[in-house]
Amino acid sequence: MKQILHIISSPRKDQSFSLGLSKAIIRKLVCSDEVFKIVERDLTISEPPMLSDHQISAFYKKADERSEDEKRSLVYSDIVINEIQNSSIIVIGIAMYNLSVSAALKAWIDQIVRVNVSFKWNVDGTKEGLLSGKKVYLAIASGRVHSVKNYEMEFIESYLKLILGSLGINEITTIRVEGTAKKNINNINFNQFVNSNTHL
Ligand SMILES: Cc1cc2nc3c(=O)[nH]c(=O)nc-3n(C[C@H](O)[C@H](O)[C@H](O)COP(=O)(O)O)c2cc1C
């Protein structure tokens, strides 16, 4: 059975546009003949740890060289990388904060980008992603409109494409709900956004 990993990064629950949109993407995906298992990781309920001194040391050591503190510091990272490894589709709900992703989503990224686990350096100096073969959907909500104007203020899509690409994940589709500052969530038909996207 294929697994869909749903990453939630807005704390606003039923008032969250990125959550509404990411849920609609998943609803559309599960409409196919395939049976999916859905795994949810809400980064606002169990917040990812910040990178620590122990964790950074542990990243660069072999398993049998790590201290007990270093081993403990890798537990969360192991869990979230394993969730990605076990998934064929990842749907990331993203609230734009101050032109970027939330601190919680950035902290999750810092936990999944890990040398010799999610990527490696080859002897010729090239970087190789180790999490290939997955599709990602970015469900981005922003208070302003960034796709047709203000695009110079939009870093989220290019950033996530680069960082996920470095892990070998290059099949990435972006769906946006924009101008949310002037929208009432109760009047939004998220299925409509999703249905008009030909990549789904
Ligand atoms: C702290 C904060 C910072 C924000 N910064 C921006 C911003 O830089 N650009 C923008 O277009 N909207 C910004 N917004 C508006 C959010 O992107 C918008 O409310 C969006 O719908 C949030 O996603 P959510 O509905 O899933 O919570 C910001 C909102 C908050 C609370």
With respect to residue 45, please indicate whether it lies within any of the assigned structural domains.
Answer: yes
With respect to residue 200, please indicate whether it lies within any of the assigned structural domains.
Answer: no
Closest residue by Cα to atom 23, ligand 1, is: 95
CA distance 64 to 117: 15
The Å distance, Cα 7 to ligand 1 centre, comes to 17
Ligand 1 close to Cβ of residue 12 (< 6 A): yes
CA distance 57 to 152: 37
Range 78-86 average pLDDT: 98
The Å distance, Cα 11 to ligand 1 centre, comes to 12
pLDDT, position 154: 86
With respect to residue 150, please indicate whether it lies within any of the assigned structural domains.
Answer: yes
With respect to residue 51, please indicate whether it lies within any of the assigned structural domains.
Answer: yes
Ligand 1 close to Cβ of residue 10 (< 6 A): yes
- 53 Cα distance to chain centroid: 24
Tracing tokens 């990125």 back to the chain, one arrives at 18
The Å distance, Cα 87 to ligand 1 centre, comes to 28
Tracing tokens 């060289």 back to the chain, one arrives at 65
Ligand 1 close to Cβ of residue 97 (< 6 A): yes
With respect to residue 146, please indicate whether it lies within any of the assigned structural domains.
Answer: yes
Range 131-155 average pLDDT: 92
pLDDT, position 118: 98
The Å distance, Cα 126 to ligand 1 centre, comes to 36
User: Domain residues for 178?
Assistant: 2-195
When mean pLDDT is compared across 8-22, 50-64, 151-165, the lowest value belongs to: 151-165
Range 119-135 average pLDDT: 98
Ligand 1 close to Cβ of residue 11 (< 6 A): no
C-alpha distances out from residue 40 to 8, 45, 84, 90, Å: 8, 11, 11, 10
Residue 120: CATH number of its domain: 3.40.50.360
pLDDT digits (tens, 9 = 90+) for 40-57: 999 999 999 999 999 999
**Total domain count, the chain:** 1
